Structure 1
Amino acid sequence: MEVSCAFPTALDSPDNIVMAEELGYRRAWVYDTPQQSPDVWMTLALAAERTERIGLAPGVLVPSLRHPMVNAAATATLAALAPGRVAVSFGTGFTGRRAMGYRAITWSYMESYIRAYRGLLQGRVVEWEGAQMQMLHPGGHAPTRPVDVPILIGALGPKGHRVAKELGDGLYVTLQLPEFASEYSWVPYLVWGTVFDEGERTDTEHARQAAGPGWALAYHGAYEFGGASAVRALPGGPEWLDVVERTPPERRHLAVHSGHCVELGEADQAAWKAGGHTMVPDVTMSGTPARIRQRLAEAAARGVTEIVFQPCGPDIRAELERFLDAATT
């Protein structure tokens, strides 16, 4: 299994990607979350100029955020800066849409978008929104078409599975691992967590800072996909809801996604203090080195070919080192 990393796009992400390359990570994925992040393409371009080996990829692009021509041109630019190191993945929009109050895009839209995007990179004339268009970049403005970049698709259900099988080069997975993952030859699996010392409890400050942001996704996801009743069933769920529901419904998504993937928001902190931290080993890739290796073996048996670890907390290098050591020893 390849060991890669991910970063919630930030101003220091190029520095962290350089660090990840030095440590030996295979690929760096960064998020397309404009409501809380710098631009994903600018960040990857800066990283491309400072690295030589590590793969570079947006994980995941949300189609509704950009015209397919814009993403095609950005992809071609990054491919020119980092030849042979670029992959892209697309998703229907968890943080990239729900944190702005929208629902996920439809799979019919995703399918049309990827067909147009792929056609543009191949140099074909495509139709989008009733207009005929083509990448017209002359020499020196983009690589010669076709621009061959692997395209992965984030899917959890049958509709996404069909689109991924038909149009994708792999399956990008987060939140949960679908049964059909074993049908793909390339399956990056995005995880959060931390490596515990022997005997370390789930309520330590290290656990809170390093595993907490990933743990909090259990509440964010439960609320978005299952509603208040799903959250109420979790340890600390009622306390989490008490905070979130202080916000008017039309702005509630702002309270839900505050600190998403980076730090604990107010609601997350309330759930943690109420005992929610006990879920850390279950909802994140956290545990002793031996437990991490066991979990990775289980993921591999279910079809995962690339583990993608997002470090959190004040010491990113230490988290990257600890996880890589656990995963490869």
Structure 2
Amino acid sequence: MRDADSGELPRLSLAFDGETGVERCVAMVLAAERLGFSRVWFSENPFGRSVVPTLALCAQATERIGLGVGVFTPFSRHPLQIGAEAKALDDLCGGRFAVGIGSGATQAAHFGIEARPTTIMRDAVAILRATLTEKGVDHHGAALSAKGVILSGEPRSAVPVYVAAMGPRAVQLAAELGDGLLISDMCPPNYTRWAVELAATRRTAFDVTQIIPCSVDPDGASARRVAATDIGRTLLMLVDHLSGGFPAVISAIRDYSGIPGREFDAAMAQLRAGKPAADVLDARYVEAYAVAGTPEECVERLRVMRQSGVTEAALLPVGPVGADQLGLLAAAAEKAPTRKER
């Protein structure tokens, strides 16, 4: 598969949420490896089941494709434990593992933590880095500490650390501390472009991975309806759950979509009333929040992502997307002309 730097497309990867069945994950990862995909990211939902067993199975079943977690948080695991699991998973897959870490800000209230997310992240990444690369950790932080810890095993400096971020301070911190920026789903291209430009004020060479729902089908209209259904469910959940205390997240989702605020709010009201998302959300929502359509249309959407600064598109399959559909997309991406060829 064409590398991101050789044309105008990001590297193609897969993503799965924490509730995807183990059998489907393993089958899709094997298909992605055969098709030349770059990596597979596994999301661990807050207070959901662990993705580590599934990752371990995929590590043993594959030989080349990269594997990553997007993300662990310092509330689901102390950074010492994140580092320990990262080293174990990197052993299992022969050095193909990447670890993503996020602040877990939405979980903080459940643990009685009042520190700022950026304070938590600065401590968490410092401890995680030391756990991976040193023989001991002695970090006295404002939010998290690891004092006088002696580690077993050999240091593992090659495990890249991706930092998830949405707000401006978090994006700058990700550029400062991480090997890459991890952008969540439901972030439109205008947001991504803003985040990449902001990150560049702290660091110029930077990997940008974005997770995005993907629905691909030779029947483009059918693919877009499937995507709209998933977008509606996810948008409504995020808006209703986070609007009270996470303005940066809501701004990233809503204000950068290109959809006027009143129209966006009206659409959310219709979804709350039970109207089908495929009837409520028009093409603008699908273009803002998903890669959807025919294989060729999906390639054009990937091109837009690359132009916004994304170097790796982690496609989150929605609906009936399986190995066959991935193959159609991979073939279309391989055939897509570069700027010089057009």
Equivalent position to 1:216, from 229, 233, 237: 233
Q: Is 1:155 aligned with 2:161?
A: no
Give 1:131 deviation, angstroms: 5.1
Q: Is 1:275 aligned with 2:280?
A: yes
Q: Any idea what the Cα deviations from partners look like across 1:307-329, whole Å, max 9, x if unmatched?
A: 11111223422332233233332
Q: Is 1:298 aligned with 2:304?
A: yes
Distance 2:225 2:322 in 1: 14
| Residues 162 and 181 in structure 2, CA contact (< 8 A), matched pair in contact too | yes
Structure 1 partner of 2:258: none
Q: Any idea what the Cα deviations from partners look like across 1:263-308, whole Å, max 9, x if unmatched?
A: xxxx5xx342652355333421113334323222222222211111
Structure 2 partner of 1:238: 269
Structure 2 partner of 1:29: 41
Structure 2 partner of 1:121: 132
Given residue 127 of structure 1, which amino acid in structure 2 is its aligned partner?
H
Q: Any idea what the Cα deviations from partners look like across 1:183-210, whole Å, max 9, x if unmatched?
A: 3431111111323436x43xx4x54445
Moved more, 64-73 or 9-18: 9-18
Given residue 283 of structure 1, which amino acid in structure 2 is its aligned partner?
Y
Q: How does 1:15-94 map to 2 (within 5 A)?
A: 15-33=27-45, 35-36=47-48, 38-93=49-104
Structure 1 partner of 2:7: none
Give 1:29 deviation, angstroms: 0.3
Give 1:178 deviation, angstroms: 4.3
| Residues 188 and 307 in structure 1, CA contact (< 8 A), matched pair in contact too | yes
Equivalent position to 1:145, from 139, 148, 155: 155
Give 1:101 deviation, angstroms: 11
Given residue 241 of structure 1, which amino acid in structure 2 is its aligned partner?
R
| Residues 7 and 311 in structure 1, CA contact (< 8 A), matched pair in contact too | yes
Given residue 194 of structure 1, which amino acid in structure 2 is its aligned partner?
S
Distance 2:16 2:139 in 1: 34
Distance 2:80 2:171 in 1: 25
Given residue 295 of structure 2, which amino acid in structure 1 is its aligned partner?
P
Structure 1 partner of 2:340: none
Structure 1 unmatched runs, 5+: 243-266
Distance verdict in 2 for CA 1:271–1:135, change over 3 Å:
farther
Residue aligned with 2:216, SS? coil
Give 1:26 deviation, angstroms: 0.9
Structure 2 unmatched runs, 5+: 5-10, 245-249, 255-260, 336-342
Distance 1:30 1:239 in 2: 32
Distance 2:240 2:164 in 1: 20
Equivalent position to 1:7, from 16, 37, 47: 16
Q: Any idea what the Cα deviations from partners look like across 1:116-156, whole Å, max 9, x if unmatched?
A: 1111212232236555143532xxxx4x1144311111122
| Residues 236 and 275 in structure 1, CA contact (< 8 A), matched pair in contact too | yes
Q: How does 1:174-323 map to 2 (within 5 A)?
A: 174=184, 175-176=186-187, 177-182=192-197, 183=200, 184-197=205-218, 200-201=220-221, 204=222, 207-209=224-226, 212-226=229-243, 233-234=264-265, 236-242=267-273, 270-272=275-277, 274-276=279-281, 278=283, 279-323=285-329
Q: What is the root-mean-square deviation in Å for CA atoms of aligned residues?
A: 3.2
Structure 2 partner of 1:132: 147
Given residue 289 of structure 1, which amino acid in structure 2 is its aligned partner?
P
Residue aligned with 2:131, SS? helix
Distance 2:321 2:214 in 1: 13
Residue aligned with 1:65, SS? coil
Identity over aligned pairs, percent? 26
Aligned residues: 292
Given residue 160 of structure 2, which amino acid in structure 1 is its aligned partner?
P
Q: How does 1:93-112 map to 2 (within 5 A)?
A: 93=104, 97=107, 106-112=117-123
